A = this chain, B = another copy of it.
């Protein structure tokens, strides 16, 4: 059969397959696997892995939640963010779309959608972030779900959360009834404020005390509470950027009871521990929750191995090094977040697959398939199968690289992994059948990305 593109001779790896096969793509879709194929374009990928494109459902490429001093936004937009993603093997982004004070959920989505339509080089979804669970906002949840926005982000750490738990719970319930999945940032704001106050009183407010400022129990207590919201509503919950053994234990207990609790971790926690905060430039590692201890790091790897954790996403929230190291900042005002879009998949491949900690199948599951299922994009996204979007990455399993944030595409200009040696890197990134990254060169046209109209969240 004559098709638009043939990806020939690679070792195709999905969660449920691993073998050499040719892939035929036409009109952006995978139309044939194996058999006779002729392509208008063909790429020979013998000896390479062929993975479903990465899906990073947790990035920040628009208006920030917690401005530092003055009005400022994260330094990447959909354009630079897409570029970093493309180079790193990501073909679908999930952006946190915050309401501004005068906006409804719908307004915010509209605003971000406009920006993404203008700038995004790859496909994307938008997560409406509920910052004010007003009656109007609650009413929009089912509407937006019916329009394909089947997710909702809440922050247990927000100042207004504690006083309005029941409104947030109602939001979560409405989301579930609409087939939407609720993402939850689980930290206990009240406990954190208590700790801050003590640290400030003891003269320990500098960013280097960041790990002390948000101890693991401030995470696990909030996680227990989020699970309580699931118990109250039967609504599924997706705990974002889980960082500690304690919070993971809470989620695992809940899952063992059959509750629909899903866990995402952030790459940072898999490679770094709080010891880096002894370094002079430690502020560059600030992100919430903070880095933990070796026992936590081990627990997270064990969770990837056992299936207790379902997704690894970047929580890409980029700032420049100058912004991060601003000496005026302390634990209360520090700019939270790090750039990790470009490094997400290579680091996990190198440290996980190459070092024998996780299988290739799990790698695909953690970086693509599970996210596609949970966020209503499967099997359009998240796999390599006939009928699916041809979102494919070709992976050179033997490429050696040294991480160098300065030469990467995020405007952050540095990486928390600067100097790390990794093995394995994308060779081609293909989005809906278009080769948009080709041996080191991005060819994606600005704005070519599309919003993925999503269905309901799916059981794993």
Give chain A's interface residues, CB within 8 Å of chain B: 1, 3, 12, 14-21, 24, 30-37, 52, 161-166, 169-170, 173, 188-191, 193-195, 197-198, 215, 217-218, 220-221, 224-225, 227-229, 231-233, 249, 252, 255-258, 298-299, 301-303, 305-308, 358-359, 361-362, 364-365, 369, 373, 378-379, 382-388, 458-460
Residues in B whose Cβ lies below 8 Å from that of A166: 190-191, 193-194, 197
Residues in B whose Cβ lies below 8 Å from that of A379: 17-19
- Closest approach, in angstroms, between the C-beta of A95 and any C-beta of chain B? 25
**A19→B215 contact, CB < 8 A:** no
Partner of A225, one of B221, B232, B369: B221
- Closest approach, in angstroms, between the C-beta of A250 and any C-beta of chain B? 8
Question: Could you show 5 A-B contacts with beta carbons less than 8 Å apart?
Answer: A16-B17, A19-B379, A258-B306, A307-B307, A359-B459
Q: Which residue of B lies closest to A161 (CB)?
A: B162
Residues in B whose Cβ lies below 8 Å from that of A305: 255, 258, 459
User: How many copies of this chain?
Assistant: 4
- Closest approach, in angstroms, between the C-beta of A86 and any C-beta of chain B? 23
- Closest approach, in angstroms, between the C-beta of A83 and any C-beta of chain B? 28
Q: Which residue of B lies closest to A251 (CB)?
A: B306
Known: A19-B388, A361-B373. A302 touches B257 (CB 8 A): yes
**A232→B194 contact, CB < 8 A:** yes
Residues in B whose Cβ lies below 8 Å from that of A301: 258
State in angstroms the CA–CA spacing of A379 and B21 once bound together. 12
Residues in B whose Cβ lies below 8 Å from that of A52: 16
Q: Which residue of B lies closest to A255 (CB)?
A: B306
**A165→B162 contact, CB < 8 A:** yes
Q: Which residue of B lies closest to A164 (CB)?
A: B190
State in angstroms the CA–CA spacing of A388 and B373 once bound together. 25
Known: A34-B33, A190-B165. A17 touches B258 (CB 8 A): no
**B232→A386 contact, CB < 8 A:** no
State in angstroms the CA–CA spacing of A373 and B18 once bound together. 11
Residues in B whose Cβ lies below 8 Å from that of A369: 16
State in angstroms the CA–CA spacing of A460 and B18 once bound together. 12
State in angstroms the CA–CA spacing of A21 and B24 once bound together. 13
**B191→A232 contact, CB < 8 A:** yes
- Closest approach, in angstroms, between the C-beta of A251 and any C-beta of chain B? 10
**A217→B228 contact, CB < 8 A:** yes
Known: A21-B387, A166-B197, A194-B169. A256 touches B306 (CB 8 A): yes
State in angstroms the CA–CA spacing of A364 and B17 once bound together. 12
**B194→A233 contact, CB < 8 A:** yes
Residues in B whose Cβ lies below 8 Å from that of A299: 256
